[in-house]
Structure 1
């Protein structure tokens, strides 16, 4: 990554939606990649979910804290095993990320982040435009990018069509969306293979989205 990337400040893409380039230091990125590999082993990861209409997602996913399937959460995996616990480190990163994006310390009654989805994109993987609407809490969604860059399409709250903004997310970038943008449609129309930092040893893109389910 270039030095200019690390010097760039937060950019508001839409009200409540903020992109912070280069937020994760290289050593933090390496640690998270190692953790993602550990989380993806064993029951529950990495899965390609089948959508209600029969199509299979091109993105592979593992769930932490709660098991996500289109379009609901549960406490158990399809085979009946318990979902891997939500890691404390991701809760801390979520609160720090919200503070970095919005330029303010976390509120005294900070939301309880308790679910994370770890998505792996190979060179052909895509994510269609969708809303994150399975949560009952309205806390901001915190997204961390690792490995290859991608085009992240951030849209409006009404439908999957224009207006939307395309943002290039690179390894180490933070993206937070809450408030009036919490229910915005968003997706990944393409990745950029071979653009990730070589030192990560990651062929593809990892995306960690951290959420507060509000499910109790």
Structure 2
């Protein structure tokens, strides 16, 4: 159930919903599904076009997002193995659909980028613009250590709001907010039942 109280934070943006604790009832199954995916397609630190190494470790299910010195793109195959990325587990698809519906969107994802943040990892402000269908929202699920999520406007220089995301929280953005800049500040060390890291599942409609 959506909880509008953001633990004292004030946030209101057309096209954005923060669903506190929405994934809590599925957390154990979600982590098990991540483990199964990683057994087929291990986490790796991708390179960016400028030659830098991303601090966040990544893998994919469904249609995968890939970054390297040639640019950013989606690919059905894992460039490390040459094999197709693992299929999205039914629990992934179901959770993304239910969260999007709670936020007022009809959404069936075909790709999930799985990020693993260790303490010290971060994600700079960016837009999700490699997808072919901007009418579909982005659904982002947080598991593990808390993180500070940054949400800006449609221009890089727009004001940024900071939101603390906890284990089980889900953020959905689409419509007028679909191309908003967003990122994650440096993850702080801590302990959680799933380990000393944070998982982020980001569901997209690629095709």
Report the alpha carbon displacement of residue 146 of structure 1 after superposing the two structures with TM: 0.3
Classify the secondary structure of the residue corresponding to 1:151: strand
**1:10/1:174 Cα in 2 relative to 1: closer, same or farther (>3 Å)?**
farther
Report the alpha carbon displacement of residue 47 of structure 1 after superposing the two structures with TM: 1.2
User: 1:169 aligns to what?
Assistant: 165
Tell me if 1:32 matches 2:30: yes
User: 2:198 aligns to what?
Assistant: 205
Correspondences of 1:116-127 after superposition (within 5 Å) = 116-127=112-123
Classify the secondary structure of the residue corresponding to 1:63: strand
Structure-1 separation of matches of 2:125 and 2:168 = 23
Structure-2 separation of matches of 1:145 and 1:10 = 17
**1:158/1:30 Cα in 2 relative to 1: closer, same or farther (>3 Å)?**
same
Classify the secondary structure of the residue corresponding to 2:103: helix
* CA deviation profile, 1:178-211 (whole Å, cap 9, x unmatched): 0011000100012233253x3xx32210000111
* Equivalent residue in structure 1 for 2:90, among 77, 80, 88: 88
Structure-1 separation of matches of 2:141 and 2:56 = 16
| 8 Å contact from structure 1 (residues 10, 19) kept in 2 | no
User: Which residues of structure 2 form unaligned runs of 5+?
Assistant: none
Structure-2 separation of matches of 1:82 and 1:58 = 24
TM-score (ref. length: structure 2): 0.88
**1:19/1:111 Cα in 2 relative to 1: closer, same or farther (>3 Å)?**
closer
| 8 Å contact from structure 1 (residues 153, 167) kept in 2 | yes
| 8 Å contact from structure 2 (residues 64, 112) kept in 1 | no
